[in-house]
């Protein structure tokens, strides 16, 4: 059990991301702990930020660079101090199913544990098998671009872009501009970019786009049609949402050309007019993630591109924020008119903190914890007892007086058809009601005022629970609580 803390950002609800004290990760066999140095905010993170209904119990963030600071048992390919990036799907893949054997680890049918994300925290534990070491030429800013560039590279390889081909990329965000770069790297001669915002247009030209096409100009006239009257060899869609971008792609691609789809479309979106695509006989490739093709991983190819073209590609990072300012960073990244392309979170250079009075994690759903008294070691010889007296209540008695203000984190879920969804935490006679989600692990953070420095904390189900709620082996599962993280900061 970890006795160290770190800082990490949690999505608490819609457009609400906050930095909290969280547990420093455990290093498991076959895994390493990385000290995160930089992490990009991805479109996927923004999507969750705009739409999530329940909070997360662990940080998101998959576009991270980290330095190996701990090696788990059996790790042989990585060493301490090495800088790496990580393919979260490769990390958690089984390695033996039909998809893994074909390099399509994104589609693994026997995923092992959770997917290794967590870059919005100071430290993250990841499995060795998904880590890719970075050469010195690829610094932390560039390293944060490996993942989005691998996404774009995957599509370019799927489309079989060859030297001399012509193309168009629809979308001037990170993925669109990475698609431009990846297509150029594959040898494409003329790649046009459809971009709306001035910052995107300017950067696309700096990266060597043949020309910019305004989204309102399509089907496009002028120099584009003069050079390519029948359209270009390939079109890559990198916008998604619900705009008619696939139709525009079809208007810009030549007969028998190919369209790559990278944008995340809104659920239920069906707005693609099929007949023009049919008449043109275009092939459409759906490209969602990355993996290995012909024995070579998209991450390796992305790292190679960043090694050779880092000077240009680093311009994609337009803004940087310290982790503590992540709220501001998300607000800016969420506003496309802000001129932001890739917004990067950088981490303060400090080790795990030990500044708090008590912190400990009690896993009440762990069958190894007996009913009755639970003694938990904390810092400064603090002790916490937990007791569930009648199956509906956990009482924690702290040996030392509690601070006048503190934070309690309760993580877990309330599962089962009759499990209570509502709980109450009580300190100093003040009740705080909270609820946990049923589907995924949730995290509830409660701030307490404790003027009398009371040292008893009670968690309970406020209403009489139904018999079924209390039925599971007589252990703490009846509470529907998983982890209770007691992170108390004065």
Q: Nearer Cβ to Zn ion, position 86 or 484?
A: 86
Which DSSP category does 25 fall into?
A: P
Q: Which residues of 55-200 form beta strands (DSSP E)?
A: 63-71, 83-86, 123-127, 131-133, 166-170, 190-194
Element (H, E) at 40: strand 31-40
Q: How far is the CB of 169 from Zn ion (least distance, A)?
A: 17
CA distance 367 to 370: 7
Residue with structure tokens 């390293």?
143
368: which 2 tokens?
A: 């190894």
Q: Which of 57, 60, 59, 77 is nearest to 68 (CA)?
A: 77
Chain residues in the site for Zn ion (CB under 5 A) = 42, 93-94, 97, 100, 108
Please say whether the beta carbons of 44 and 52 come within 8 A: no
Q: Nearer Cβ to Zn ion, position 262 or 277?
A: 262
Q: Which residues of 161-265 form beta strands (DSSP E)?
A: 166-170, 190-194, 212-213, 232-237, 253-261
Q: Nearer Cβ to Zn ion, position 93 or 200?
A: 93
DSSP string, 389-439: SSSSEEEEEESSPPPSEEEEEEEE---STT---EEEEEETTEEEEEE--SS
Q: Nearer Cβ to Zn ion, position 91 or 250?
A: 91
Q: How far is the CB of 44 from Zn ion (least distance, A)?
A: 5
Q: Nearer Cβ to Zn ion, position 96 or 447?
A: 96
Q: Nearer Cβ to Zn ion, position 21 or 60?
A: 60
Q: Nearer Cβ to Zn ion, position 88 or 378?
A: 88
CA distance 231 to 218: 12
Q: How far is the CB of 45 from Zn ion (least distance, A)?
A: 7
């Amino acid at each position: 059990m970890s006795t160290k803390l770190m800082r990490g950002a949690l999505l608490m609800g819609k457009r609400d991301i906050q930095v909290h004290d969280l547990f420093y990760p455990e290093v498991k066999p076959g895994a390493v702990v990385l000290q995160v140095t930089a992490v990009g905010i991805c479109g996927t993170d923004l999507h969750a930020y705009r739409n999530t209904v329940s909070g997360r119990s662990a940080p998101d963030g998959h576009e991270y660079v980290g330095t190996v600071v701990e090696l788990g048992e059996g790790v042989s390919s990585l060493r301490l101090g090495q800088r790496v990036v990580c393919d979260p799907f490769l990390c958690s893949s089984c390695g033996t199913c039909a998809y893994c054997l074909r390099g399509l680890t994104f589609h693994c049918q026997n995923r092992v544990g959770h997917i290794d994300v967590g870059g919005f925290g100071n430290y993250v534990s990841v499995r060795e098998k998904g880590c890719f070491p970075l050469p010195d030429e690829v610094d932390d800013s560039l390293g944060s671009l490996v993942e989005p560039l691998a996404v774009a590279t995957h599509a370019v390889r799927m489309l079989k872009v060859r030297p001399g081909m012509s193309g168009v990329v629809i979308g001037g965000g990170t993925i669109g501009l990475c698609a431009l770069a990846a297509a150029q790297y594959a040898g494409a001669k003329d790649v046009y970019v459809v971009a709306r915002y001035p910052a995107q247009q300017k950067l696309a030209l700096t990266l060597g786009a043949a020309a910019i096409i305004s989204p309102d100009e399509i089907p496009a006239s002028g120099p584009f049609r003069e050079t390519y009257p029948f359209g270009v060899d390939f079109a890559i869609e990198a916008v998604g949402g619900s705009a008619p971008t696939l139709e525009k792609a079809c208007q810009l691609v030549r007969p028998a050309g190919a369209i790559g789809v990278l944008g995340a479309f809104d659920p239920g979106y069906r707005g693609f007019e099929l007949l023009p695509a049919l008449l043109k006989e275009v092939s459409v490739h759906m490209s969602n993630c990355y993996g290995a093709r012909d024995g070579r991983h998209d991450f390796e190819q992305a790292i190679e591109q960043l090694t050779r073209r880092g000077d240009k590609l680093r311009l994609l990072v337009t803004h940087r924020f310290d982790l503590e300012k992540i709220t501001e960073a998300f607000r800016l990244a969420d506003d496309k008119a802000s001129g932001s392309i890739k917004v990067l979170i950088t981490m303060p250079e400090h080790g795990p903190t030990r500044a708090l009075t008590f912190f400990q994690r009690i896993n009440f759903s762990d069958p190894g914890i007996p009913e009755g008294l639970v003694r938990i070691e904390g810092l400064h010889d603090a002790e916490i007892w937990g007791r569930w007296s009648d199956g509906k209540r956990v009482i924690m008695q702290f040996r030392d007086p509690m601070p006048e203000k503190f934070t309690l984190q309760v993580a877990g879920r309330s599962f089962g058809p009759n499990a209570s969804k509502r709980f109450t935490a009580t300190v100093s006679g003040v009740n705080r009601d909270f609820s946990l989600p049923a589907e995924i692990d949730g995290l509830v953070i409660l701030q307490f005022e404790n003027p009398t420095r009371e040292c008893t904390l009670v968690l309970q189900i406020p209403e009489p629970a139904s018999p079924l709620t209390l039925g599971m082996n007589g252990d703490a599962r009846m509470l529907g609580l998983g982890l209770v993280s007691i992170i108390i900061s004065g």
